[in-house]
């Protein structure tokens, strides 16, 4: 069933686990996520990035997400990931997204508060949840790149002010992760997560979570993370399985045969993540 992001994340916050938010671009990815969620009896968030919307179109993404959610035996939220523009956020709400992110992290604090407040006012009026971002998460997610030298950790006192002023439902924090493939091992500032959580109380979101070692993910959840974003790990699983299939079956020209192993490979990765995040059995 289709639910709001707030519904899922408030439950996770209360019970100390995290909900996986996986990026979707086509039907096979959506199916892999839903099948994994049903097998593990896990709540889940389907999210579309700027690149995902550009690739598939907001109407296709929204319909895919809604059909999947309505058929699913587990609660599913449909979320806009890294929304940067007010018009696009409104369009997503109109098409049935139940959660949106306004990423104003590139702006100074005051502007970030202003744009986030504006989104919260409209979204809450129609029952849609809002995630915002404070601090700058490094790396590349589709068209958005933040240079390592420009990445800045979230300041706990600013986070408190930001949450009080905006009334946002969840907050993405910059605590040492980065989007994309890691060069070395990410160093997560768990103490910072704990401090921010103590001050704001609302669900915290970890971006750039692909490639983060299992132990670090567990510690981040214990420290107060309730939503974990995964994109790159699915891309890797998809591409690896597809390449292997084509290597072993060079004459196969059936897209269904080619895509099926990719869908299965993603599903395995997602099942593992759901166990790790503690969302299994929470649906």
- The residues annotated as belonging to the active site are 81
With contacts defined by CB under 5 A, name the span among 18-26, 89-97, 140-148, 262-270 that binds Zn ion: 140-148
Quote the CA–CA distance of 276 and 83 in Å, as a whole number. 27
x/- track of binding to ligand G3H for residues 231-250 (CB under 6 A): xxx-----------------
Quote the CA–CA distance of 139 and 273 in Å, as a whole number. 21
Quote the CA–CA distance of 84 and 101 in Å, as a whole number. 8
- How do beta strands 129-134 and 144-146 pair? unpaired
Among 79, 117, 207, 263, binds Zn ion (CB under 5 A): 207
Which one, 181 or 246, has the nearer CB to ligand G3H?
A: 181
Among 180, 190, 260, 264, binds ligand G3H (CB under 6 A): 180
Quote the CA–CA distance of 132 and 112 in Å, as a whole number. 9
3-state secondary structure 135-181: CECEEEECCEEECCCCCECCCHHHHHHHHHHHCCCEEEECCCCEECC
Those residues with Cβ within 8 angstroms of residue 249's Cβ, 6 or more apart along the chain or in another chain:
257
Q: Is 79 in the site for Zn ion (CB under 5 A)?
A: no
Among 207, 267, 273, 282, binds ligand G3H (CB under 6 A): 207
Q: Is 227 in the site for Zn ion (CB under 5 A)?
A: no
Q: Is 75 in the site for ligand G3H (CB under 6 A)?
A: no
With contacts defined by CB under 6 A, name the span among 36-44, 214-222, 228-236, 269-277 that binds ligand G3H: 228-236
Which one, 66 or 207, has the nearer CB to Zn ion?
A: 207
Apex 8 CA angle, 7 and 11, nearest 5 = 85
The least distance separating ligand G3H from the CB of residue 252, rounded to whole angstroms, comes to 29
Which one, 179 or 267, has the nearer CB to ligand G3H?
A: 179
């Amino acid at each position: 069933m289709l639910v709001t992001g707030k519904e899922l994340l408030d439950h996770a916050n209360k019970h100390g686990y995290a909900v996986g938010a996986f990026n979707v671009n086509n039907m096979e990815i959506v199916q892999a996520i839903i099948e994994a969620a049903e097998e593990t009896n896990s709540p889940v968030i389907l999210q579309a990035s700027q690149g995902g919307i550009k690739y598939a179109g907001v109407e296709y993404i929204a319909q895919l997400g809604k059909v999947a959610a309505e058929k699913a035996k587990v609660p599913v939220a449909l979320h806009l990931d890294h929304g940067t523009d007010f018009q696009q956020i409104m369009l997503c709400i109109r098409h049935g997204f139940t959660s949106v992110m306004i990423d104003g992290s590139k702006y100074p604090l005051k502007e970030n508060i202003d744009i986030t407040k504006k989104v919260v006012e409209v979204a809450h009026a129609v029952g849609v949840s809002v995630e915002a971002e404070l601090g700058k998460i490094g790396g590349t997610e589709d068209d958005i790149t933040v240079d390592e030298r420009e990445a800045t950790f979230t300041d706990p006192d600013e986070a408190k002010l930001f949450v009080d002023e905006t009334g946002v439902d969840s907050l993405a924090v910059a605590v040492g992760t980065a989007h994309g493939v890691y060069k070395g091992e990410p160093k997560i500032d768990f103490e910072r997560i704990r401090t921010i959580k103590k001050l704001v109380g609302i669900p915290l979101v970890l971006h750039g979570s692909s490639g983060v070692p299992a132990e670090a993910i567990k510690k981040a959840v214990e420290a107060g993370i309730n939503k974990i974003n995964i994109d790159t790990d699915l891309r890797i699983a998809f591409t690896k399985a597809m390449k292997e299939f084509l290597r072993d079956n060079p004459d196969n020209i059936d897209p269904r045969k080619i895509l099926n192993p990719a869908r299965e490979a993603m599903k395995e990765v997602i099942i593992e993540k759901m166990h790790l995040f503690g969302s299994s059995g929470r649906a």
